[in-house]
């Protein structure tokens, strides 16, 4: 752990000890220790290596031991046990502004509250206001804090965060004082959701940059403002951090605050193995006093180069094997939005979509794609006005007529999103399904089956000769609904064995299958399709969120069906439809 992380732990320990009503002198030793660590001028690694930690004023024997353990092992029994000894509901009350260990202890002892919900009830019943040392005002503040926590405590979808992040970056870049500016953090790493936004700016005149940042129109609250660091909160609860650094530190700060933490740990270890110390300020010989003699890197490429590494794309910096690759070779060219030539899995007004077949075709043509595939719901999804066999056959005719009319430069594939019934069979007659160019098979019901049942159910559907691709593998909705339990690697193996494509559902709330599975799956030979699951012409842009996930999953255009030209797509679909004339173009 870094000294800042250790300081965080010490502050936590102090608060937890307050909650338990422990000796105030001991408590103060930890909070003072945290402050000493934060302001420590010497290098912590060096102090530890030289055994000089106990020479630092304020670091007693107990503290020194704990710092060393946290530094080397990243965890501490004492801390874990302390945390475990207090009910989680009580600990969670610390998230409410204005409530520290002491006050929570009183609330717990006098009112018996053990969770935020119980605290809310106590406030509603005016019991907190009547407590000595609280009063009406602090009760109101607690109620406000609980309300805000619900709005602010959550993470934010990348897709929504982007709408906030892009204008900020544009605004920063337009300031005359700004030499360089970039996103950092999880947003830059293209995570599916972000805790907050991070921005790094290079400037020799930070004042006006800081002033602009906190004065943005949508800022609801300035949560911090110093000379080179600021944090603001927007109406949606999303928070943004800004850091301004001198130009020569920019690459180091950008790399550091892009993270991830795990990636940074590996990078620092690699630097140490070369006798170098890497930080947000630079890269210097371990023995030199300050980062004033840092090596120079005018870009992240150069920074990686200083450690004999190829440039690691930000979205791959998760500490999941990227450094090993960067030691040896350039990274593959990850999928780009421009690589896509069409899309499958789209709904029309025939089921629950809001745009007609013609409107969707026109929109695809306007984007400049070569083809798209219809995939309306099947009859078991009656709430989505799913199609039965008769309606589906009529739709196939409509698509044939549309293609034959040559009214559009776009080819339309006929398909269906066919429900996988609870036993793994498909919702529509196989004869009819085989008349389609392709079939997406998806689960829309019986989410509560066991993992084994769901896995078998999906595999049975995959083995169905009519199945072309598997839709939204887990059915999750990010930040609101867990997916159904399923053995993902087993499903991947079954898909590969049966020549079935696994979709990458690009709806920003789904992004299913998750990025963590793609690298390995693609290495084993799995093909994907970036599917917007569009229910309107407005949803085609979702594919960008899907491309993000594909990149995070190390995918290249070779792994993606809808990056292929029309003829090659038809050839792949024809593997499952050898008798279908319409596929031969
Ligand atoms: P988020 O915001 O939770 O989605 O995730 P990140 O990765 O954006 O994390 P954030 O905003 O806390 O910090 C940005 C980066 O700064 C993080 O990826 C790694 C780096 N970093 C360096 N030192 C520390 C540290 O002591 N604590 C944390 N949390 N991050 C650090
Ligand atoms: Ca962040
Ligand atoms: Ca942050
Ligand atoms: Zn679906």
**pLDDT tens digit sequence for 169-208:** 999 999 999 999 999 999 999 999 999 999 999 999 999 9
* Range ranked top by mean pLDDT from 50-59, 97-106, 459-468, 480-489: 459-468
Whether 4 has a pLDDT exceeding 90, the answer reads no
| Nearest ligand to the C-alpha atom of residue 261 | 1
Q: Decide yes or no: CATH 3.30.460.10 for domain 155-245.
A: yes
Q: Decide yes or no: CATH 3.40.630.10 for domain 337-583.
A: no
Give start-end residues of each CATH 3.20.20.140 domain in the chain.
337-583
Instruction: Kindly state the average pLDDT of the residues 488-512.
Output: 97
Whether 310 has a pLDDT exceeding 90, the answer reads yes
**pLDDT tens digit sequence for 384-401:** 999 999 999 999 999 999
Closest CA to 510 of 194, 195, 236, 192: 192
Least confident interval from 36-40, 171-175, 296-300, 412-416: 36-40
| Nearest ligand to the C-alpha atom of residue 507 | 4
d(CA 501, ligand 2 centre) in Å: 34
The residue behind tokens 């907190």 is: 128
- Atom 25 in ligand 1: residue holding the nearest Cα: 5
d(CA 270, ligand 2 centre) in Å: 24
Q: Which two tokens stand for residue 200?
A: 């790094």
| Nearest ligand to the C-alpha atom of residue 531 | 4
- Atom 28 in ligand 1: residue holding the nearest Cα: 261
What pLDDT is recorded for position 151?
Answer: 62
d(CA 168, ligand 3 centre) in Å: 15
Confidence of residue 499 (pLDDT cuts 50, 70, 90): very high
- Atom 8 in ligand 1: residue holding the nearest Cα: 185
d(CA 496, ligand 2 centre) in Å: 36
Return the ligand 1 atom nearest residue 264 CA: 19
Whether 97 has a pLDDT exceeding 80, the answer reads no
Least confident interval from 62-71, 98-107, 148-157, 194-203: 148-157
Confidence of residue 354 (pLDDT cuts 50, 70, 90): very high
Residues 6+ apart with CB under 8 A from 432: 389, 392, 393
Least confident interval from 41-55, 139-153, 244-258, 517-531: 139-153
d(CA 257, ligand 2 centre) in Å: 8
Q: Which residues form ligand 1's pocket by a CB distance below 6 Å?
A: 2, 4-5, 185-186, 191, 194-196, 198, 256-257, 259-261, 264
What pLDDT is recorded for position 555?
Answer: 98
What pLDDT is recorded for position 585?
Answer: 59
**Residue 446 neighbours by CB distance under 10 Å:** 14
What pLDDT is recorded for position 465?
Answer: 97
Return the ligand 1 atom nearest residue 280 CA: 22
Instruction: Kindly state the average pLDDT of the residues 532-561.
Output: 98
d(CA 194, ligand 3 centre) in Å: 9
| Nearest ligand to the C-alpha atom of residue 38 | 1
Least confident interval from 106-120, 353-367, 505-519: 106-120
Mutate which of 12, 186, 266 to test ligand 1's pocket (most atoms within 8 Å of Cβ)? 186
Return the ligand 1 atom nearest residue 194 CA: 4
Give start-end residues of each CATH 3.30.460.10 domain in the chain.
155-245
Q: How many CA atoms lie within 13 A of 506 on its CB side?
A: 27
Q: How many helices (H) and strands (E) does the chain have?
A: 24, 18
Whether 95 has a pLDDT exceeding 80, the answer reads no
- Atom 19 in ligand 1: residue holding the nearest Cα: 259
Mutate which of 7, 257, 268 to test ligand 1's pocket (most atoms within 8 Å of Cβ)? 257
Give start-end residues of each CATH 1.10.150.110 domain in the chain.
3-152
Buried b vs exposed e over 527-549: b needs ≥16 C-beta within 10 Å? bbbbbbbbbbbebbebbbbbbbb
Pick the CATH number of 255-331 from 3.40.50.920, 3.30.210.10, 3.40.50.10330, 3.40.1190.10: 3.30.210.10
Closest CA to 206 of 175, 231, 240: 175
What pLDDT is recorded for position 152?
Answer: 58
Q: Which two tokens stand for residue 204?
A: 């020799």
Average pLDDT of the chain to the nearest whole number? 94
Pick the CATH number of 3-152 from 3.40.630.10, 3.40.50.10470, 1.10.3810.10, 1.10.150.110: 1.10.150.110
Whether 523 has a pLDDT exceeding 90, the answer reads yes
CA distance to 20, 374, 427, 428, 471, per residue, from 421 (Å): 53, 21, 6, 10, 14
**Residue 220 neighbours by CB distance under 10 Å:** 13
Q: Are 566 and 370 in contact (CB under 8 A)?
A: yes
Angle between helices 250-258 and 261-273 (to 10 degrees): 130
Instruction: Kindly state the average pLDDT of the residues 419-432.
Output: 97
- Alpha-carbon distance 173 to 186, whole Å? 20
d(CA 153, ligand 1 centre) in Å: 16
Give start-end residues of each CATH 3.30.210.10 domain in the chain.
255-331
Return the ligand 1 atom nearest residue 186 CA: 8
Return the ligand 1 atom nearest residue 259 CA: 18
- Alpha-carbon distance 302 to 306, whole Å? 6
What pLDDT is recorded for position 150?
Answer: 67
What pLDDT is recorded for position 251?
Answer: 98
Whether 434 has a pLDDT exceeding 90, the answer reads yes
Whether 477 has a pLDDT exceeding 80, the answer reads yes
d(CA 183, ligand 3 centre) in Å: 11
**pLDDT tens digit sequence for 112-166:** 998 888 999 999 999 999 999 899 999 998 998 888 776 656 799 999 999 999 9
What pLDDT is recorded for position 68?
Answer: 93
Whether 348 has a pLDDT exceeding 80, the answer reads yes
- Atom 18 in ligand 1: residue holding the nearest Cα: 259
- Alpha-carbon distance 471 to 418, whole Å? 9
First to last CA, the chain: 60
Share of the chain above pLDDT 90, in %: 80
């Amino acid at each position: 752990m870094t000294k800042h992380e250790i300081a965080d732990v010490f502050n936590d320990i102090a608060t937890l000890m307050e909650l338990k009503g422990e000796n105030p002198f001991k408590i103060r030793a930890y909070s003072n220790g945290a402050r000493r660590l934060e302001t420590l001028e010497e290098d912590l690694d060096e102090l530890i290596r030289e055994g000089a930690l106990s020479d630092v004023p304020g670091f007693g024997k107990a503290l020194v031991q704990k710092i060393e353990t946290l530094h080397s092992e990243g965890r501490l029994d004492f801390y874990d046990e302390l945390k475990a000894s207090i009910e989680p509901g009580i600990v969670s009350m610390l998230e409410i502004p204005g409530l520290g260990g002491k006050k929570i202890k009183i609330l717990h002892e006098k009112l018996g509250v053990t969770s935020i919900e119980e605290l809310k009830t106590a406030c509603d019943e005016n019991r907190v206001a009547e407590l000595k040392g609280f009063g009406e005002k602090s009760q109101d503040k607690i109620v406000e804090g609980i309300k805000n926590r619900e709005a602010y405590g959550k993470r934010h979808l990348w897709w929504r965060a982007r709408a906030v992040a892009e204008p900020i970056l544009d605004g920063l870049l337009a300031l005359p004082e700004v030499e360089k500016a970039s996103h950092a953090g999880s947003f830059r790493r293209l995570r599916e959701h972000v805790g907050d936004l991070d921005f790094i700016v290079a400037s020799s005149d930070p004042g006006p940059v800081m002033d602009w940042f906190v004065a943005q129109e949508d800022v609801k609250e300035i949560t911090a403002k110093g000379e080179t660091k600021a944090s603001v909160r927007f109406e949606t609860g999303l928070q943004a951090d800004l850091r301004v650094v001198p130009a020569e530190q920019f690459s180091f700060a950008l790399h550091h605050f892009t993270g991830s933490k795990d990636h940074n740990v590996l990078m620092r270890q690699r630097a140490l193995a070369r006798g170098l110390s890497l930080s947000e300020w630079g890269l210097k010989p371990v023995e030199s006093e300050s980062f004033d003699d840092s090596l120079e890197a005018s870009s992240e490429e150069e920074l990686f180069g200083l450690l004999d590494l190829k440039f690691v794309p930000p979205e791959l910096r998760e500490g999941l094997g990227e450094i090993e690759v960067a030691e040896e070779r350039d990274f593959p060219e990850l999928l780009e939005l421009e690589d896509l030539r069409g899309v499958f899995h789209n709904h029309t007004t025939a089921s629950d979509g809001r745009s007609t077949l013609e409107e969707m075709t026109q929109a695809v043509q306007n984007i400049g794609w070569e083809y798209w595939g219809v995939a309306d719901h099947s009859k078991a999804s009656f709430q989505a006005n799913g199609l039965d066999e008769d309606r589906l056959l009529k739709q196939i005719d409509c698509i044939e007529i549309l293609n034959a009319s040559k009214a559009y430069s776009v080819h339309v594939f006929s398909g269906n999103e066919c429900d996988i019934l609870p036993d793994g069979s498909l919702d529509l007659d196989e004869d009819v399904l085989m008349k389609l160019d392709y079939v997406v098979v998806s689960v829309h019901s019986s989410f509560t089956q066991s993992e084994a049942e769901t896995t078998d159910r999906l595999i049975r559907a995959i083995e169905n000769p009519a199945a072309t691709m598997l839709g939204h593998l887990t059915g999750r909705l990010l930040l609101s609904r867990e997916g159904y339990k399923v053995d993902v690697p087993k499903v991947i193996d079954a898909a590969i064995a049966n020549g079935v494509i696994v979709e990458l559902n690009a709806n920003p709330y789904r992004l299913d299958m998750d990025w963590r599975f793609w690298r390995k799956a693609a290495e084993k030979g799995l093909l994907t399709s970036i599917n917007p699951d569009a229910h309107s012409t407005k949803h085609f842009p979702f594919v960008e969120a899907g491309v993000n996930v594909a990149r995070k999953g190390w995918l290249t255009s070779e792994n993606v069906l809808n990056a292929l030209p029309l003829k090659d797509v038809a050839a792949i679909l024809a593997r499952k439809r050898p008798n279908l004339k319409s596929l031969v173009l």
